[in-house]
Amino acid sequence: MESEVKGKLSIPEWSKEDRPRERMLARGPKAMTDVELVAILIRSGTPTESALDLARIILNKAGNDLHKLAALSTIDLMKIKGVGEAKAMGIVAALELGQRRRDLTVAERPLISTSRAAFEILQPMVADLQHEEFWLLLLDRGNRLLERIKVSQGGMHGTVADPKLIFREALDRRASSVILCHNHPSGQLRPSAEDISLTRKLVEGGRFLDIAVQDHLIITTGGYYSFADNGQLN
């Protein structure tokens, strides 16, 4: 019942601890939800929706994914009822500042230009597992690491890697290239027929999307196998 009452009130009528700006002053930005931060950016709602309600609509438009929200243009945002030019530009400007801050720290992100460099990042996560996992390294145009993502987890003898999911992760994070990786708990370093088939499929799909598959590593407790080093990415 309390939430229903709040939904009918404008933000200034809420108790101070429930207002986004007051909460931010009292608790700091780290304590804020994505919805509350967007509500602060847009500053006001509409005659029928509070700033928080409108912020929820905006995030829903982006699938509640900040990466997707950052990909929306001012024009895209203005298609949302209640979002005018000022609100749209405020959101775009804030996300662009966040991206620029991230870019300034590029030197702190590992440069991955060899299979050994990729192995050293991935080995601690998968080498000693008793089940298979499939991982991605997402890279920018300078071959610096954007993110490492676990795509799937399986059993002792295999795991499923969905190409659609792999490329969605890369597209959402604006990666220029990817490095694939999975482990073999059996200790067998040589790729299976399924490994080879999947790699070819992903290489071809990456070419279509302009996302290069730079390598596919198979990692065991005893070392690693690189598709790129063995000329198997053609």
**Nearest of 216, 222, 212 to residue 186 by alpha carbon:** 222
Give the number of other Cβ atoms within 10 Å of residue 74's Cβ: 15
**Nearest of 221, 209, 219, 217 to residue 233 by alpha carbon:** 217
Locate the domains of the chain by residue range. 2-104, 109-226
- Name which residue leads in pLDDT, 28 or 202: 202
- Share above pLDDT 90 across residues of the chain, in percent, rounded to a whole number: 54
What is the predicted pLDDT for the residue at 77?
Answer: 95
The superfamily CATH assigns to domain 109-226 is Cytidine Deaminase, domain 2 (3.40.140.10)
Reported confidence tier of residue 214, pLDDT bands at 50, 70, 90: very high
In this prediction, residues 156-185 reach a mean pLDDT of 86
The CATH number of domain 2-104, selected from 1.10.150, 1.10.3470, 1.10.357, 1.10.1420: 1.10.150
Q: Which amino acid is at 2?
A: E
Average confidence score pLDDT of the chain: 86
CA distance 206 to 214: 10
Residue 208 has pLDDT above 60, yes or no: yes
φ, ψ of residue 9 in degrees (nearest 5): -100, 150
CA distance 228 to 210: 18
What is the predicted pLDDT for the residue at 135?
Answer: 94
Q: Which amino acid is at 179?
A: I
